[in-house]
Structure 1
Amino acid sequence: MQHVLTLIAPPGALPGALPARIRDALTPLGADTGTPDWLSEAEAVDLPFTGLATEQAEAAARLALDGAAVDLVAQPAEGRRKKLLIADMDSTIVTSETLDELAAYAGLKERVAEITRRSMNGEIDFATALRERVAMLRGLDVSALEETWKGVRLMPGAEALVRTMAAGGAHCALASGGFTWFTSRVARWAGFTSHHANILEDDGRVLTGTVAEPVFDRDSKLATLKRLCAERGLPLADSIAVGDGANDLAMIGAAGLGVAYHAKPVVAASARVRVDHSDLRALLFAQGYRAAEFVA
Structure 2
Amino acid sequence: MHADAFIHPAAHVAPGASIGAGCRIGPGCVVSAEAVLEAGVELVAHVVIDGRAFIGAGAKIFPFATIGLPPQDLKYKGEPTGVSIGARTQVREHATIHRGSTGGDGMTRIGADCLVMCVAHVGHDCRIGDGVILVNNVMLAGHVEIGDFAVIQGGAAIQQFVRIGRMAMVAGMSGVERNVLPYGRAKGYRAKLHGLNTIAMRRRLGLSKDQVMVVARAVHDLYRGGRPEDHVEAIAAAHPGNALVSEILAFARNRGRHGLCPFGRAAEEEEGGEAA
TM-score, length-normalised on structure 2?
0.28
Structure ranking higher in helix proportion = 1
Structure number with the bigger relative contact order (C-alpha 8 A, sep ≥ 6) is 1
